[in-house]
């Protein structure tokens, strides 16, 4: 799925109880590319397949208004995590961890959850105030090599059977 422009109130993607099978990994696989505008994940039982790779381009936005599970996240856009909601990641980026970095911004009071051997590289300061949970042999790579990058995880960080890698930065 490619989203290249926005509807005035954003594009809402949702699955309700009557059509909950849309969240099945058997039916919705591949990628969601938010190339422009904004997309809202708003399904009561999830919005897209749990293995879908999500890319958010610079100038585009992904908003999570209800807890949802996706495969991976990368890009240079904006992520909004509504308070009390979770964005759960379950895999490594399709293009590989070395080329598929999250260098975008984030905001909101929601949580970012990495499970099931997820790999996520972040290389920019983030603004969401929820917690970051990393578990299930997942890896979180925090790259501090960019100018002014000093607050990648602003909220609480919880590690449980996971890996945390720090890259870049300078001694001061």
C-alpha 158/C-alpha 136 separation (Å) is 12
Is 118:112 a contact under the CB 8 Å cutoff?
no
Of 4-13, 19-28, 105-114, minimum mean pLDDT range = 19-28
Mode of pairing for the β-strands spanning 157-160 and 86-89: unpaired
CB count within 10 Å of CB 118 equals 25
Specify the pLDDT at position 95: 65
Specify the pLDDT at position 121: 95
pTM of the model: 0.87
Average pLDDT over residues 79-90: 96
Sign of CA dihedral 134, 75, 77, 28: negative
* Confidence label for 14 from pLDDT (cuts 50, 70 and 90): low
């Amino acid at each position: 799925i490619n989203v290249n422009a926005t509807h005035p109130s954003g594009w809402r993607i949702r699955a309700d109880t009557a059509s909950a099978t849309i969240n099945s990994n058997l039916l919705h696989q591949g990628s969601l590319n938010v190339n422009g505008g904004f997309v809202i994940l708003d399904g009561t039982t999830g919005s897209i397949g749990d293995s879908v790779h999500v890319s958010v381009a610079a100038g585009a936005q992904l908003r999570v208004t209800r807890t949802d599970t996706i495969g991976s996240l990368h890009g240079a856009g904006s992520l909004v995590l509504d308070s009390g909601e979770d964005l759960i990641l379950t895999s490594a980026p399709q293009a590989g961890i070395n080329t598929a970095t999250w260098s975008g911004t984030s905001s909101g009071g929601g949580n970012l959850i990495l499970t099931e051997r997820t790999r996520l590289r972040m290389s920019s300061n983030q603004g969401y105030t929820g917690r970051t949970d990393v578990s299930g042999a997942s890896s979180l790579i925090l790259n501090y090599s960019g100018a002014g990058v000093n607050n990648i995880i602003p909220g609480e960080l919880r590690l449980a059977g996971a890996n945390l890698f720090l890259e870049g930065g300078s001694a001061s």
